[in-house]
Structure 1
């Protein structure tokens, strides 16, 4: 049976409902049933259910969610905190934003269950500052929940108390990194912390803290309501469950497509109406611009953590940016690298200085300046950043460069041969991967 035949909307189930963001609509579709069930369960049983489901972090790293919850030291007398990472800033990623706009109460229900499981009485939802409409939507949902008695004291008569704060970030890409996010929450400049100690032991206000992505937390209510086995029945052996895949770029119907992990790009493109008419896929990103790009050779790679890693990339945030043959890969990579240079927090030398030099070298190549030796220089610069920066921003900045040289080296050389970019879409002059001009 095709993966497409088994599609069942869960996170996106109510997105088409009238005024789906309101509590009344959410409850009419079964909302908050799972929270009522969870608050009658033992906390350790909830953590065990999430572990058994195989849910892995949906923010990019893919770390097992239940295992992360289990790291919280319950013998620590300090308060426990849940922090939801809604600082969605990765280029091409757009799954958490529509989820919070269409189903803010789904996230809140997940927050209630998750906070209860880790014995936290205060939770923070850290939203990227630029998306003011999402901040307002979440704040309105929180206000509805307080008014109904679903937040605050004695939730559902269980005796459990939870306060939820929607925090607007200052708009820094780096605050998607969990420890930089904590710095921002505490009112300091967003820069990564040295680890250890890890957030589970000394996170927000030096207290035990769980930090999870929006989609990870929003997946929890369905696990409680339908059971761990139900969730684990979808996806692949090691990558369980479903997820939202963001398709953008040169595709007929860009948007959010919810599917079990393990679906292929070929199947997703079919769902999206194919590549735009008259064109063909050239390269794509499986998890945003900080993941090594892939080509049309990888259309049938299972989109799960292991499958994508097996071809040298990362599933990341499932931000699938698709580019057809009219796109200059050198120019695209340069634009991404300029973004990472701008967003580097400057704390560590490899990233602060390295991304600057990457932009200089790439920009010269894009103008047709330099020599073939500059490609080796680029790779050497990447090697000096990769694994040596304070956080993953530096590593991510190298991914599109090294992978594009691997697959499109001839296109880089064509820029040198032609004294600039060989692409001129108006004249239908495009560069083929084989190195010939069409």
Structure 2
């Protein structure tokens, strides 16, 4: 069996083998994190109960609302630029690091200030939010990961981040055993990102690179921000149409247990979100390279990319939807039984994640990031409007339906209405032909 697999991989092009190897490393990382994260995450949810778990997720979601400021939409731009011209490494990485560090400080300030104004009677919430938001400052060191991504060498950052992840997972178990308060779990969250940053620096140095060699440039900062600002604004609006439901549930409903039920369903539904993101990390630099060589090969490669995303959606959505009640009961217990009906609907919205990630890669390579902004703004307006009507009457189920409708409109329908997005519409349309999609995927091994 192994010999056959080795023979098959030798038939593939060197570029595709490189993508497969990098993807395999990323996949192994996520399998490890899923295994540990599921066990410990479920244990934490059971320990905290629906109300405290809902409160904790409200704080984390609120930080995520401002998190685009800590990233500034720079990641794909930096990876693309270094993949095209490795000589710009020092200036690009140094400038990106400085911008991310400043963005993290702004994120912390805005998150704590805003949640204090919206929830003046909640004394614990600002502390929870502030501690979680500290992690966004340390995320500036994820700039190191961008270098390894640009070289399709993600295996080096896997060791760094997994070491921190596993250690903090053990810390969370200890917190449960010692009956620690809710705020302790927020500190564990921040500590995980901080330790991951330290580990990234060590791995970077061990591979012969030095952060001291980085240099910041105002000129380069302006150039990066001019290209990334649509992605930054899109990050805000994308959050609004994909995650604002959790913020609105926590704000509009006094019963935080409802948010706890919803959070469990969302977490279970998004367990496999790492797969499209992982593929994007490997495909983006390679697709950019293919475009320089051959437009025909570029078009074929993108169609296969969308075919893969389509099949991944079906493989996840069908079994999870059918087995939702058994999954929730087995993992979270009877206290979270209300999450099952939410999960059975919400999981179908994952096509938005799969096709959305693929479309984002297309827009970045084609230099059409502005459409990410337009799409996100439209999606945000649609989602907020629908949620305002459905959450007060249907609670978490209403938020789920709003997400499904919004994703269909901004991930699928809009591509058929905008001329510049028609190539994406064709990719999606062709992917829905199961027979031809399967043939295209099978042809990769020939």
Q: RCO greater where, 1 or 2, for CA within 8 Å and sep 6 or more?
A: 2
TM-score of the two chains, using structure 2 as the length reference: 0.29
TM-score of the two chains, using structure 1 as the length reference: 0.29
Rg larger for: 1
> Which structure has the highest strand share of the two?
1
> Which structure has the highest helix share of the two?
2
